[in-house]
Each structure stands twice: as C-alpha cells, then as structure tokens.
Structure 1
Amino acid sequence: MNVYMDLDEGLFSCTTHLPHSTMKFPVSELHSVKIPPQRTTGTKRIVMLASTPVLLAVIPLYLFVTSPRLNVLSSRELDISTSVSKGIERVDERCDVFRGKWVRSPNAAYYTNVTCPLIVDQHNCLKLGRPDAEFLKWRWKPDECDLPRFDGGRFLEVARGRSLAFVGDSVGRNQMQSLLCLLANVEFPEEISYKHSLDTTNFKWWYFSDHKFTLAAFWAPFLVKSRDADPNGRSFNSIMSLYLDEPEPSWASEIANFDFVIISAGQWFFRPLMFHEKGEVVGCCSCELNNITDLTRFYGYRMAFRTAFRELLSQKAYKGMTFLRTFSPAHFENGTWNTGGSCARMRPFASGEAKLEGDDLEFYLTQVEEFRAAQREGIKRGLTFRLLDTTEAMIQRPDGHPDRFGRLSLRNTTMADCVHWCVPGPIDLWNEFLFHVMRPESRESLQGQTWKSGR
C-alpha cells in the first residue's frame, strides 16, 4: 500500500515537453483557464489555474497573465460543449443536466456547519470565519430542464444494502464529505476506517447501519501505483515513478466488493513523473534527465485512466456501476498561492464568462476519451459506465473555495486554498448529479447485489 504521511505539503512547478523543440516553459505558461477581470479592477486579465498536485490540502499553483481570448472557439474548445455531451449516452434523454448556469436561490443550502458535525476543518469555511454566506445562495439550473433537489432518504433507499467507493485524490474525498453531510440528516453514519486500514487519514470508511450502506474513500492520487523516485529525496518538486500499467493495489484489491465506484484524478499530474510500463522506464515528464524519452503529462494521464478502467473491466467479480467525475478547476487570482493569490469572489461567473482551454481542456478531453472507450467495452461485459460531468458548472464558481477560511488537516495553519471546495457549498451539486445519474437504473441493474465483505 502506498502510504503518504504529511500530505499537507504542497508542490511545485512542472514543464511541458514541446514536440520537435528543446524549449521548455513553466507550467503556468502552458496550463490556464481564462477568467474575466473582477469588476473592481478594470481591464486587468486574470488567469484561473487548475491541475496542480493536491496533497490533501492546498497546493502551490502558478499565476500567469495571458493574451486576450479569441472570439472564435477552436475545434478542441468546441468539443466540451458539443461532442462530449452528445457523444455519450444520456441517462435522461429529455435533458443534459450538465449544461446550464447558476441562478440565485436563497434557500439552496441543504445543511450548515452546525447541523453537520462531520465537516473537516479543511473545508469548513463558515466555522473558520468566512464573513459571507452568498456562496450558499445559488442553485444549478440546466438549460433544458430542472435538476431535482437531493433527497437523502431516497438516496439511502436506492443504496440500501450496497456500497460506494471514491477512488482518487483529496478532491474526491471532498465530495465524500459533502455526501456524508447530505445523508447525515437522514441517518448519522459510523466511521469504521480503523477496521479496514492502518492509515485512517487517507483511507476512510463509513457505515449507515439502518440502511446497510457502506461509503469509502481510497487514496490513489494517480490511480496507478506510484513511488518516490528522486535520488535527492522527497521534496516539493521531487520525481515520482508511475507504473502506468499497474493499478494502485489499495483500491484494486477491494473494488470488486463495491456497487458504485467514482473515479477521479488530475491535480497530482503536474509534478515531475517517471513513467514505467512492463517493468521498464518508457519516459519522463519534466525530469530533465539524460537518455530518457521526454513524454507529456497527458500521456501519463491517459494511461492512468486507461489502466484504472481496464482494471474494473477485467475483474470478473466486479459488477458495479462506474462513474467518471470530471476535472475540477481552481481559481487563484492576483498572485500565486504564496504571493498573495486568493479566490475571494462572492458570486459565480455568468455562463460564458470563464472558459476551459489549454492544458485544463486537454486533461478534461483526455479523461472523457478514455471514459468513452471504457463505456463501449463495458457494454460488452454488461457493465454500466456513467459520466458526472461537473467541469462546466464548477468553472463558474470561483466563490466556492475555502481560500483562507480552511485549516490544513495536519497543521494548525491556513493557506489560500482555491483547489478544494467549501462544505456546504457548490460541491453539493456533484452529489445531486450523482443521484440523478444513478437513480433511473440502479434498482434494476444492481437488484439483489449487496456488499460482500465483512463490516
């Protein structure tokens, strides 16, 4: 098992390989989501950065002032608004719930930090002094229909006797925090992490005894097996080895016991990475080592998702429903994480104000392409693969991060966290999507299946 001890330490910059060129640039110059200037700062151009490694808390991301946005979308930019939603079978043929806008709704919040005592300080913005509650007064409105509100009682009835696992990094565990609070109003869960792992920080298990429902989170920031590989020791910018054809054993050895599995990853792929396949080094991203092929981070990202999906497809005992939760953006403005950068906005962006592009768009499209391939193979095996396309909605929520109103998990300190999301907050939408997608077919496709491991 790959155990990380002090995961609140952040990292670093990374470089991108440019084909047919020996030039390299900082990651900040190659990976950005353009967002409009704050209304109080005139024509200043701001960049929203995402996809830097998340080490359980807040991560150094690099701010970069970009050139003006073109009015005409490129063919790659068109994919996010057309091909993605149309190329994947819809659960609800009447409506694509993932395309829409945020509308004001004063009573949108499901719970508070007082009514849900399960929120960790890292995400507990109101407890730690956030002065406004405006970020709680918005609701997602799909373009073509209305998205039903989350119903914890109905969710637990659908999930009765079953189990759900989050596989990925701390942003995935952030979603688990939201789901725990959404369900705790119906039944308060018991934490049983100690029964399953010595590392109860990175591997979480909860049990809802009345509904015999198990909820778990498996720490696997790369999805595949990873190890420290820098000869100079671990640091903010040290090399890690990824074994791209080997799933991380901590989740792969347990996953057949779960009925619902949510796969996600992204932030960690911006550190220097050594890629291994079939026991051999095949290349490296940003390692600056001689005699090793320079590969892009997107190569490693693609292969990691491919391996994770293939593992689920190959396990004969696995009969569950698999979800891909898409890329989650960050929103640093006016500096980097350690030079005064923050995410202090108090309102969502209007639809179209912020656009996914560059490296962030490439990450998004890469994971969706691998999802599509797995979905096609899943049909042959009788397995269901569903998309939780949260990216468009979350690009519009620069107001939803802890910023400086969160506390690192292992230290009594705060940093600007524009990567994770406040709980409660816009991340609750992810679980509205989850229930909407799993509900229509879950009783039929999973009838009679229960979690098979002992509790």
Structure 2
Amino acid sequence: MTPLHRNSFRMKRVALRRRARHISVVLVVLVCATVGIWTWDTAPSSAFLPPQSRFLKLQTEEEVRRIPSGLNTETKGSYSSATPFVNKAETKEDSTIEQVEHEVVSEPKHGKTPTSRENKLQQVKREVAIRKDQTTKTTHIKETHSDPERTKQFVAKKDDVSTSTARFPNQACNYAKGKWVVDNHRPLYSGSHCKQWLASMWACRLMQRTDFAFERLRWQPKDCSMEEFEGSKFLTRMKNRTLAFVGDSLGRQQFQSMMCMITGGKERPDVLDVGPEFGFITPEGGGRPNGWAYRFPETNTTVLYHWSSTLCDIQPLNISDPLTEHAMHLDRPPAFLRQYLHKINVLVMNTGHHWNRGKLNGNRWVMHVNGVPNADKKLAALGNAKNFTIHSTVSWVSSQLPRHPGLKAFYRSLSPRHFVGGEWNTGGSCNNTTPMSIGKEVLQEESSDYSAGHAVKGTGVKLLDITALSHIRDEGHISRFSLSASKGVQDCLHWCLPGVPDTWNEMLFAMI
C-alpha cells in the first residue's frame, strides 16, 4: 500500500470515530431526556426541593425596601417591611411559628411559669388563626360581591373579627408581670401642687424627704405595653359613669392618686362635690365624712371613695350608747354597696390590714355570722375570717352583675408592708432609698395575694393584682418623714404620692 493510500485510510478511520462519538453523545442525551420526561410524569421536579414552608427568601435591608407595597386584599396587613417577603401569608406565619418553637426548645424551664418565648408562641399561633379567618372572610366577600345582602352579612362578620383582634393584646396581657424602669417623663403630677385632692400626710414633697428618684419609675408589663394614662382620655371613657373605690386607707390613697392623675395635679374649682348624693356627710361631732365624691361636669364623670376597712357590714348593737360594741357581719357586704351599687359603673374593692386583734378590740367589733355572734372556732382565727369575708363580698358583687349590665367590678390585691426590725409601734423601719426593684422582674402567673386570687376565680369580678409589683418598691413608703407619726415611728404601709398607687390606677385604666 502506497503512502498515499495509507493516509487516506487513516483519515477515514478518524472521521468514523468522530461520528461514533457524536452518535454516543446524542444517544446519551436522548436517554437522559427520556428518563427526565418519565420522572416528571411520575413525580414533578419540584418534589425534590424542600417544601416552601421550610424556607424563606431573605433580603438585605435595601432589597426589603424595594418590595412593592401593593398587595392583594386577601393578604394585606399580614406583611411588614421589617419581615422577610414570601409568596403566601400562610407560609410566613407557619415559618414564624416554627422559628418561635425552635427558640422555645432551648429556653430553660422554671417550674410551670411560661417563658416569654412560650407566651410569644401562643400569641403568634392565635394571631395566625385570626389572620387565616380574616383571609377566609375577605375571600368570601369577593365571591359573593354580586349579592349585596350576603356581602353586607359577611362584611359585618369581618368587622367582628377585626374588633376582637384589636382587643386581643389587652385580653392576653398580664399586667402584673413585668419590671420597673426609669422614665424621665414621670411623675404624672406634682406632689407639691396637687393640694386640692392630695392629703398633706401623703404628699412627700411637702415633707423633709430629699430623695425623689422613686417618682421616676414606671411599670413595664412583660411582652405587652400598658396604655398611657391621660386625664382627658379617662374622662371620655368614663362619660356619664361613676368610678367607686371602696376599702381602707390604701383605697383612699388610690382614690386621691386618681384625682391627681385626672387633673394633672392642677386646681379645678369647677369640679363638683357630690358627696351628699352618696350619703357622705360629716356626722355631728365627727372629724370627717365616711367618704368623698367629686363630679367632672364636662363629661358627667364621678369619682368617689367610701371608707370600709374590712369590706363587710358593721352595725352598732346599741345606737344610743356611744361605747357600744359593733356587729361585724362577715357574711354581709357593706351597707353602702347594697344601697348605691346601682349608681356605680366601675367598682374597685380592697381590704386587708385592719384584720388584726388591735383593730378589732380598739373598735369594739364582734364577729357575726347569720345575724348572730360567731360560734365557729375556725372563723375565730382572723386570717380565716378575712378570707371568708372577701369571698363572701366578692361572691355577692358577682351575683349582682346580671342586674347591672354596665358594671365592671375589681378586687384589688393586698398592698404590701415593708417594716424591718419590728412593727410600726416596735421600732420597725423602712429607711431604704435605693429601690430593691432594680434588676428584678415579676414573672409569676398567680397572685402573691392567695386569698384575693382565689376569691375572684369563677366570678365576674376581676383581679387588680398589684401585690408583687408593689412588694419590690420598699423605697416608696412615707417612712420616717411622716408628718403625723410620733418620734421613732415610721410609716412603712402607706405610700408617698406621686408614687406606687399611680401604677395601680394605670393598670385599672388599661383594664376598664
């Protein structure tokens, strides 16, 4: 074979190999395409990706700002520029719950008290349910738009959902849990100017006290916010209504605090004294009436206080004898409530510190049950008698609520004492000026006032739980600066005003 023939043969063999390679590639491509088509028919390719609810499209802050704000009406309101954007509201909500659940797993447990993240998880779940319900209602409105009557019906249902959603944060918030924080916008009124309503014996600005850091602390509930108190807002909310405080001297402090908060501590000569309408008159030879009542004419709002230190009915056994004993009817509510409850719209009750032998003996009170002197040895113990009375009065008020649909009733838990080294008459003191609340947080679910917490359970009366948050404010008492106390005697029971009782009223305002 000549060299020419050999070269020609080699070139043909190379060409055949190239063709074979091309054919192989084509065959491979055809086989892959066939397999791919068969796979798509049996299981779409998206099945190999993680579910959409398992991942989120995360953007930088700049990319988030570029997200269009025009959203469908079904999902509008489910997004915010601060949250990652995803295609469906349900996907975002499910992912949020998943994230919170993951965080809760690593959260340490403290007995049965839910953590803040557990509370957050429950809140998110409830909000998700509400949002899904809203989406369903909105979609249904679109589908029935051609029928005006049906559309009107579903719009009403949608509005009901929106209303319940708006109320939800207040219903879910436990105002008794939280911590004290410094707020330079406090106090809410001046203790040296609110002379029209504030007794001088509780106005620490008029005493020799020089440290007033306690006035600048504000209560911050955990996982929620408390509505800011405004006098005008309160009067509007209580238009044509009456707020009544019924209780001991701590109740009177709360009453005076409320009057100062409503007026901002300013003089109000237009406010009317309507005490006689509620039987508040100074008896002959008496030093003061058994209560006070004031009316704000612009909204016809009345705020009153009635003295009832034990929250039960007390009657003299012999009216003609000034030294007579008094029947202390443990199973009867105060006569004032029986007579004037129909005129009250918001009722706040309290008792506690007068349940001691010194008070009973000094006032010549004799415990009665069923109209006769008590013969039950268990009730002879003052702690049991107090609990019995609280349960009895709260139950009675609750039984009256159906007759008075506009009435909201609260029982305020015990205001704590802070005597150290003795009692009020044995050298007890509370000289601390640095609040023990710094760095502390109230997290308990149940009230520290066991009797109050159990008295309201199963009733229509709500608990105004102020015990634990007040317990960590030992520096807020009048202490040794009292104007009326004897030398060496300190007041570690009552509070300086402005002070802690203002927070009780902020909580009450948020709960009304």
Q: TM-score, normalised by structure 2?
A: 0.58
Match 2:343 to one of 257, 262, 266: 257
Match of 2:382 in 1: 297
Structure 2 residue runs without a partner (length 5+): 1-109, 117-121, 123-166, 283-287
Q: CA–CA distance in 1 between the matches of 2:290 and 2:455?
A: 26
Match 1:190 to one of 272, 276, 299: 272
Worse-superposed segment, 104-113 or 252-261: 104-113
Match of 1:268 in 2: 354
Structure 1 residue runs without a partner (length 5+): 1-72, 285-291, 376-384, 439-455
Query: Alpha-carbon deviation of 1:192?
Result: 2.9
Aligned with 2:175: secondary structure? coil
Query: Alpha-carbon deviation of 1:91?
Result: 7.2
Contact map agreement 2:464 2:507 (CA 8 A) in 1? yes
Query: Alpha-carbon deviation of 1:264?
Result: 0.8
Higher relative CO (CA 8 A, sep ≥ 6), structure 1 or 2? 1
Match of 1:429 in 2: 503
Query: Alpha-carbon deviation of 1:279?
Result: 2.1
The AA in structure 1 aligned to 2:177 is R
- Asked whether 1:129 is paired with 2:208, we answer yes
Aligned with 2:428: secondary structure? coil
Aligned with 2:355: secondary structure? helix
The AA in structure 2 aligned to 1:193 is G
Query: Alpha-carbon deviation of 1:177?
Result: 0.6
Q: Percent identity?
A: 27
Query: Alpha-carbon deviation of 1:222?
Result: 1.2
Distance 1:169 1:393, change over 3 A: same
The AA in structure 2 aligned to 1:108 is R
Q: CA–CA distance in 2 between the matches of 1:327 and 1:258?
A: 23
Q: 1:286-314: per-residue Cα shift (whole Å, max 9, x none)?
A: xxxxxx66633232122212222233234
Contact map agreement 1:349 1:398 (CA 8 A) in 2? yes
Worse-superposed segment, 387-396 or 177-186: 177-186
Worse-superposed segment, 90-99 or 144-153: 90-99
Query: Alpha-carbon deviation of 1:353?
Result: 6.6
Match of 2:308 in 1: 220
The AA in structure 2 aligned to 1:310 is S
Match of 1:279 in 2: 371
Match 2:419 to one of 327, 332, 335: 332
Q: CA–CA distance in 2 between the matches of 1:270 and 1:90?
A: 42
Distance 1:432 1:116, change over 3 A: same
Match of 1:378 in 2: none
Distance 1:348 1:153, change over 3 A: same
Higher helix share: 2
Aligned with 2:206: secondary structure? coil
Worse-superposed segment, 177-186 or 310-319: 310-319
Q: CA–CA distance in 1 between the matches of 2:169 and 2:410?
A: 12
Match 1:407 to one of 475, 483, 486: 483
Distance 1:414 1:334, change over 3 A: closer
Contact map agreement 1:274 1:283 (CA 8 A) in 2? no
Q: CA–CA distance in 2 between the matches of 1:239 and 1:90?
A: 51
Match 2:192 to one of 106, 114, 118: 114
- Asked whether 1:321 is paired with 2:403, we answer no
Please tell me whether Structure 1 or Structure 2 has the larger radius of gyration of its CA atoms: 2
Distance 1:128 1:194, change over 3 A: farther
Match of 1:307 in 2: 392
Contact map agreement 2:179 2:441 (CA 8 A) in 1? no
Q: What are the residue-to-residue correspondences of 1:19-34 with 2, within 5 Å?
A: none
Contact map agreement 1:282 1:293 (CA 8 A) in 2? no
The AA in structure 1 aligned to 2:342 is A
Distance 1:211 1:412, change over 3 A: farther
The AA in structure 2 aligned to 1:424 is P
Q: CA–CA distance in 2 between the matches of 1:389 and 1:182?
A: 20
Q: CA–CA distance in 2 between the matches of 1:371 and 1:393?
A: 19
- Count of residues paired in the alignment: 331
Distance 1:336 1:91, change over 3 A: same
Match of 1:64 in 2: none
Distance 1:198 1:122, change over 3 A: same
Match of 2:294 in 1: 206
Query: Alpha-carbon deviation of 1:145?
Result: 2.3
Contact map agreement 2:177 2:443 (CA 8 A) in 1? no
> RMSD between aligned alpha carbons?
3.7
Q: CA–CA distance in 2 between the matches of 1:106 and 1:344?
A: 24
Q: 1:128-161: per-residue Cα shift (whole Å, max 9, x none)?
A: 2211111112111112123232111111100011
Match 1:100 to one of 178, 203, 227: 178
Match of 1:417 in 2: 491
Aligned with 2:475: secondary structure? coil
Q: CA–CA distance in 2 between the matches of 1:267 and 1:309?
A: 18
Worse-superposed segment, 339-348 or 148-157: 339-348
Aligned with 1:267: secondary structure? coil
Distance 1:201 1:407, change over 3 A: farther
Q: CA–CA distance in 2 between the matches of 1:403 and 1:274?
A: 32
Q: CA–CA distance in 2 between the matches of 1:218 and 1:91?
A: 33
The AA in structure 1 aligned to 2:280 is S
Q: CA–CA distance in 2 between the matches of 1:431 and 1:91?
A: 19
Q: CA–CA distance in 1 between the matches of 2:299 and 2:489?
A: 38
Query: Alpha-carbon deviation of 1:228?
Result: 7.1
- Asked whether 1:179 is paired with 2:232, we answer no
Distance 1:419 1:92, change over 3 A: same
